[in-house]
A and B are shown apart, each in its own frame.
Chain A
Amino acid sequence: MKNRADQPARAITRRKLLKASAAGAALAAFPAPLIAQTKPFAGVTLHGASFQHRFFTLLQKYIPEFEEQTGMKVDLQLSAFPVYNQQANLELSSGGSAYDFVNVTFILAARWVAAGLLSNLDEFTGDPNLTPAEWNPKDFVEGAQVPYRDAKGGTYGYSWEGGAMVMGLSRMDLMEKKGLKIPKTFAELQQVCAEINGTDGASGIVAFRLHHWNLPPYIQGFGGNIFRNPPGDIMPALNKPETIEGIEFYAKLLKSAPKGVLTYTEDQARQSLLTGRSNIFIHSSAWVTPILLSEESKVKDTSRVVRMPAGPVHDHPASNSQGLGIPKNAKNKKAAWEFIKWALSPDISMRLVKEHGHSSVCRRSIITSDAYRKLNTVNGQDLGALYLEVLELPAKGENYMAYRTVKEFPIVGDVLNKAFEQVATGQLPAKDAMNAAQDQAIAALRRAGTQL
């Protein structure tokens, strides 16, 4: 076979001439810059990861539209919550560039932001060429955005999901029969739970074993906290009198709960509430509302969703959010921003609400819209207003949810869980258990290398 260089130059054929003319005509009709603008990310494969959540399951239905618009291909890896956190933590902290966008898990947000593992998104929102004005970053509920800010106010994530602690009541019929009103204070809550407990086979309240989520609002309600002054001062504050008071209160409250409640999973608590076997469940709105309104719910007509009662000192219902961010070492940052912008756009958020009834979005304009209100008004209660009010609270004055976003929380949370179980099961008086817990928490933090 001859080399190409050895072959004689061929004459231009008629077919070649026609082909060249057609190509020229096409280029004239669609100039190159226009083609580039139509599919600005053609050929890019965007790698993203998160834990499995209904939001992403729904979003996946729309992703083909995004791929069509931009020309990029989205590879979204969804894993179980602990699996994702483990893998993302390892990838980001070891300087990996496998992901272009990631879920910034609430409990990891502070450490990822402080460690500089994420890109500052203000660079994207501040550039009108990259972010149109109507995207409006200020539309995101401020309370949900707090975890994704650094000390200087830079933004490292935008929230796609919010969880606001609310109180679900399943048996208003029983409450009314007994002449009981919806409790608004801790004292009233205690009284209502005790009076309902055992009536018509229902327990007063139900909870689940994640005490370090359920318990802090009670501790804070009495004026205590998990740490002295997080995120700056993370000395544990487990044996403060206010903390002990909160622990004692919650342990007493659970005496009106079903047997074995200390080991209940969220599913067991869910089942207990929706079958009317328990009257009250205080948990994230993303859980409580769907439970009461689900198809299997036997208490749709007798249920209410209201604010969690206020403590004698503070009214601090817990809240959290999950965000989307771009790793510092991501290979396709602009493409990733395009995805985040699209996924959290007012349009997609509204479609999720209207087409799927997905309510835990974080855009104020959506939550306050008529469409949202229409879908989320149940038994006369405007759940959107309630959700927004609670979600907003940590941004008003003290960020009381800061305890949950510091990297030391899991260690202290574990100690708190064990101590609470000792108190609730009567193994130790609260004071003794919490004094021991304080020492254990300090020792565990020091072992982990924390300077106190």
Chain B
Amino acid sequence: MSEHSGRHATPGRLVAITITLLILLSPFLWLLQMSFKSNDQILQFPPPLIFTPTLENYISLWHSAFSASFVNSLLSASLSTALALLFGIPAAYALSRWAGRGKHGLSFAILVTRMAPPIAFTIPFFLFYRWIGLLDTITGLVLVYTSFNLPLVIWMMQPFFDTVPISLEEAALVDGARTRTVFTKIVLPMVTPGIAATAILCFLYAWNDFFFALILTRTNARTAPVAVVNFMNYEGWEWGKIAAGGSLVMAPVLIFSLAVRRYLVSGLTAGAVKG
């Protein structure tokens, strides 16, 4: 053990970390253990802590419409994140480099669309989508999520671009690089942590959305969060499937976050100690 880590690993500190982790993780762990129980075991009181785990809930999920909903969620969240980044990053860069008088006004105007509650847009979206035939389609969901994530991307990415010295770009231009090359080869690599953090937030927003998916989808484009609710039947709630569905819904976000965690911390804390 290194001197550095040994300095922190006092028994008291370990106990505190363990307790904190237990408190933080207990809802997730509870959900996870529920997903391996039968409905009867779940409803037993006091709840049995030692039980024979079953994969029945996951197997029945796999064979139900949930699997298609899961794919719908993956598609709509990934595509909308990609689209929001594709349009938002150049917009943020342009805004960062623009020295015009209306810069702050424009930035604020972009953010205003994110300030309104989603419910304010739901009915217009519903009526419009019905009119143009986008109701219950992945395309429809992707467009909604992109429109909501775009301001977020612009607002999050602009400060990252502000931190990239213009002199670097000027030097590259003097060396004969074209504007596109400067942007892709010099500027973008320097804001990678920002892109990772922004992508996570965009993905999370689209992945966790329930309200738009509830109103704008039916069966073809139904997403996982709405599909989980569908286990709350009139005759009773299928707790095991709800727990299994909930655990599966969490998985991609966890995997995505772990994959980009190296960038995530620096991305989310960038500028925090500037002053």
Q: Which residues of A contact B (CB under 8 A)?
A: 49, 51-54, 77, 79-83, 86-87, 90, 94, 96, 98, 265-268, 270-271, 286-287, 296
Q: Which residues of A contact B226 (CB under 8 A)?
A: 83
- 13 intermolecular pairs with C-beta atoms under 8 Å apart: A49-B218, A52-B230, A52-B234, A80-B229, A80-B231, A81-B234, A82-B229, A82-B232, A98-B135, A267-B236, A267-B237, A271-B44, A296-B40
A79 to B232, CA, bound (A): 9
**Is the C-beta of B214 less than 8 angstroms from some C-beta in chain A?**
yes
User: Which residue in B39, B40, B214, B233 is a CB contact (below 8 Å) of A52?
Assistant: B233
**Is the C-beta of B43 less than 8 angstroms from some C-beta in chain A?**
yes
A96 to B219, CA, bound (A): 17
Q: Which residues of B contact A51 (CB under 8 A)?
A: 233-234
Q: Which residues of B contact A80 (CB under 8 A)?
A: 229-233
User: Which residue in B130, B135, B218, B229 is a CB contact (below 8 Å) of A77?
Assistant: B218
Is the Cβ of B43 less than 8 Å from the Cβ of A53?
no
Q: Which residues of A contact B130 (CB under 8 A)?
A: 94, 96, 98
Q: Which residues of B contact A94 (CB under 8 A)?
A: 123, 126-127, 130
Can you name the residue of chain B whose Cβ is closest to the Cβ of A265? Answer: B237
A51 to B234, CA, bound (A): 7
**Known interface pairs A77-B219, A87-B214. Does A268 touch B230 (Cβ–Cβ under 8 Å)?**
no
Q: Which residues of A contact B39 (CB under 8 A)?
A: 267
**Is the C-beta of B215 less than 8 angstroms from some C-beta in chain A?**
yes
A368 to B214, CA, bound (A): 41
Give the distance to chain A from B47, nearest Cβ to Cβ, in Å. 12
Q: Which residues of A contact B234 (CB under 8 A)?
A: 51-53, 81
Is the Cβ of A271 less than 8 Å from the Cβ of B230?
no
Is the Cβ of A87 less than 8 Å from the Cβ of B215?
yes
Is the Cβ of B231 less than 8 Å from the Cβ of A270?
no
Is the Cβ of B219 less than 8 Å from the Cβ of A83?
no
Can you name the residue of chain A whose Cβ is closest to the Cβ of B44? Answer: A271
A49 to B231, CA, bound (A): 16
**Known interface pairs A94-B127, A267-B43, A296-B40. Does A53 touch B233 (Cβ–Cβ under 8 Å)?**
yes
A80 to B234, CA, bound (A): 7
A-B CB pair tally, cutoff 8 Å: 59
**Is the C-beta of B160 less than 8 angstroms from some C-beta in chain A?**
no
Q: Which residues of B contact A296 (CB under 8 A)?
A: 40
Is the Cβ of A87 less than 8 Å from the Cβ of B237?
no
**Given A79-B230, A98-B135; 4 other pairs, CB 8 A cutoff:** A83-B214, A83-B226, A98-B130, A266-B236
**Which of A49, A54, A87 has most B Cβ within 10 Å?**
A87
Can you name the residue of chain B whose Cβ is closest to the Cβ of A277? Answer: B45
A83 to B39, CA, bound (A): 22
Is the Cβ of A267 less than 8 Å from the Cβ of B239?
yes
**Is the C-beta of B3 less than 8 angstroms from some C-beta in chain A?**
no
Task: State which size class the interface on B falls in.
Answer: 20 to 34
Q: Which residues of A contact B239 (CB under 8 A)?
A: 267
Q: Which residues of A contact B235 (CB under 8 A)?
A: 53-54, 286-287
Q: Which residues of A contact B219 (CB under 8 A)?
A: 77
Give the distance to chain B from A47, nearest Cβ to Cβ, in Å. 9
Is the Cβ of A83 less than 8 Å from the Cβ of B237?
no
**Which of A82, A83, A94, A286 has most B Cβ within 10 Å?**
A83
A30 to B138, CA, bound (A): 45
B111-148 near A? 1/0 per residue, CB < 8 Å: 00000000000010011001000010000000000000
A287 to B233, CA, bound (A): 13
Q: Which residues of B contact A79 (CB under 8 A)?
A: 230
A267 to B39, CA, bound (A): 9
Interface residues of B in 128-175 (CB under 8 A from A): 130, 135
Is the Cβ of B43 less than 8 Å from the Cβ of A81?
no
Can you name the residue of chain A whose Cβ is closest to the Cβ of B130? Answer: A96
Is the Cβ of A271 less than 8 Å from the Cβ of B236?
no
Can you name the residue of chain B whose Cβ is closest to the Cβ of A50? Answer: B234
Can you name the residue of chain B whose Cβ is closest to the Cβ of A274? Answer: B40
Give the distance to chain A from B130, nearest Cβ to Cβ, in Å. 6
Can you name the residue of chain A whose Cβ is closest to the Cβ of B219? Answer: A77
Can you name the residue of chain A whose Cβ is closest to the Cβ of B230? Answer: A80
Give the distance to chain B from A344, nearest Cβ to Cβ, in Å. 18
Give the distance to chain B from A102, nearest Cβ to Cβ, in Å. 13
Is the Cβ of A270 less than 8 Å from the Cβ of B230?
no
Can you name the residue of chain A whose Cβ is closest to the Cβ of B39? Answer: A267
A53 to B234, CA, bound (A): 6
Is the Cβ of A90 less than 8 Å from the Cβ of B236?
no
A49 to B219, CA, bound (A): 10
B88-121 near A? 1/0 per residue, CB < 8 Å: 0000000000000000000000000000000000
A270 to B40, CA, bound (A): 11
A271 to B126, CA, bound (A): 41
A87 to B219, CA, bound (A): 12
Q: Which residues of B contact A49 (CB under 8 A)?
A: 218
Give the distance to chain B from A305, nearest Cβ to Cβ, in Å. 17
Q: Which residues of B contact A96 (CB under 8 A)?
A: 130
Is the Cβ of B218 less than 8 Å from the Cβ of A81?
no
B204-237 near A? 1/0 per residue, CB < 8 Å: 0000000000110011000000100111111111
Q: Which residues of B contact A77 (CB under 8 A)?
A: 218-219
Is the Cβ of A90 less than 8 Å from the Cβ of B215?
yes
A80 to B226, CA, bound (A): 9
